[in-house]
A and B are shown apart, each in its own frame.
Chain A
Amino acid sequence: MYDGIVAHSKAEVREGMEALGRGNPDAASKHFWNAMDCLADVQDDRRRRDELGPLAIYYVALELYDLALIGAHDAIVLDKKLGQPRQLAEDIVTLGNANMRLGKMDEATENYTEALQLCLDNGDYDNAASASTNLASILANQDKMREATTLLRNSLDYLTKKPHPNTEKITRMTLIQVLGLQKENPEELIDVAEKLLERFGHEIPRGMIDTIRPYIDDAVEQYLKANPSIHPLKWKLAHFPRLY
């Protein structure tokens, strides 16, 4: 019944992307707003939520945080009305992401904490990992490294119950940085890094590897210094063939 409106919304997103590609942000913004605005006319709550939720995620990726926040908020209202805990948790994470990018750290912390609890209650371990990792990023930026480390370890634990490659990648990269800054546990950092590169090394852009490389180098040096009987080059080649 609402196929026409939904198709129109998707067409507006496409036109927005094309306008961005042509270097016309003015027109792009208009299309992105239209895409969200027209969905207000979809009277079927479930259908409207199913369009708004992913659109809000997409707008976070496009750095349109105000529209993402509005979309996520509307989706959350619908999730609560429809009694959809999994979608609710996802949309709260999106709201948290938008709040975080808009500098609203207290709100984002509240969002991630709520989402994490909701996911754990419902056994949504992949979403729990996502909420936990995002929460850890905020805490790490507030220099709360120990709390951040615990949350990141928890995230990896959740991901063993329900894998989500992208969340695992982000979690491992964040954990490397958090452990690297603490310089207390080179073995754990090495293990996290080794698994990251083993599983995702082929798809992580060079620039991103460069951001974690100094922490890995430091941890490797620390480890080798503590274990002088190990042959450094052989060990490095065996454990990090992509780096050394």
Chain B
Amino acid sequence: MLFIKGPVLTQQGLREPHTSVDVDVLAEPATMPRLLDALAGLGWRVAVEPTSALVLPLHSTTLRHESWACELDVHDRFPGFLAEPTDVFEALWDRRTTVEIAHRQVPCPDEVAHGTIAALHWLRDGWTSATQEKLNYLTFALAPHLNGSGRADLVELAQKTGSVEPLRPFLDMLGIDVPATGHDTTLWRIRTASTGVKSVGWLVELRQTPLRRLPARLWHALVLTEAEIRGEQPDTPPGAWGLFRARVRRLRYGLRDLPRAARIIWTESRRS
């Protein structure tokens, strides 16, 4: 298991200090059920069972514990690494190191590998001035690690993990030119172009849903679960009436976004 993002990234000097609200770990995919069972035994429970549609596959399980103020985000994959999750984990595991957190040595990816994770994390929501600022900081901080074999290591890692295209803006900033690998980047491009457009996930999923399952899934798209609705809209008053109004509000926003969502999917699918 590797600890990623948050204080580890700060400790490695790859991002400015900030207060984290969760702890992120990347687990070897095959060990996920065992790890989640062990954590459940210690009182860590799934925060809200996710049933909503997503553009990219669900990448983590969010856990909460009644005695802890922060959440635990257990990843078995990381968005933007388009290779098989097991291969991605292996590639990152090969580049593991440790940093000291809470006076303990904590396993984590080394600076080059962690730099790619951070870049993908910030690029996932599209390009903004905040993205630019964080990537500027990251490229500056990574510079000492990209001497000698560092640049070749970064290229090799990007190729192995299928993240060349998702990392392209970051690689451009580093002045690294790498030929594209054969991974399909359509969903990644849809995801990065559609931050805040929640109906995109449903459109992507419903397009691929078999006809016999379509009515049930469409109904679920309209109503969602109470836990997810209340998670999305924490101010929802208790009771059926409050829930009904929250559902209507969600539908209104979803329908308003629908033309934009369809346009993004159409544009990005045509580019593939």
Chains A and B form a bound pair:
no
Seen from chain B, the residues whose Cβ lies within 8 Å of a Cβ on chain A are none
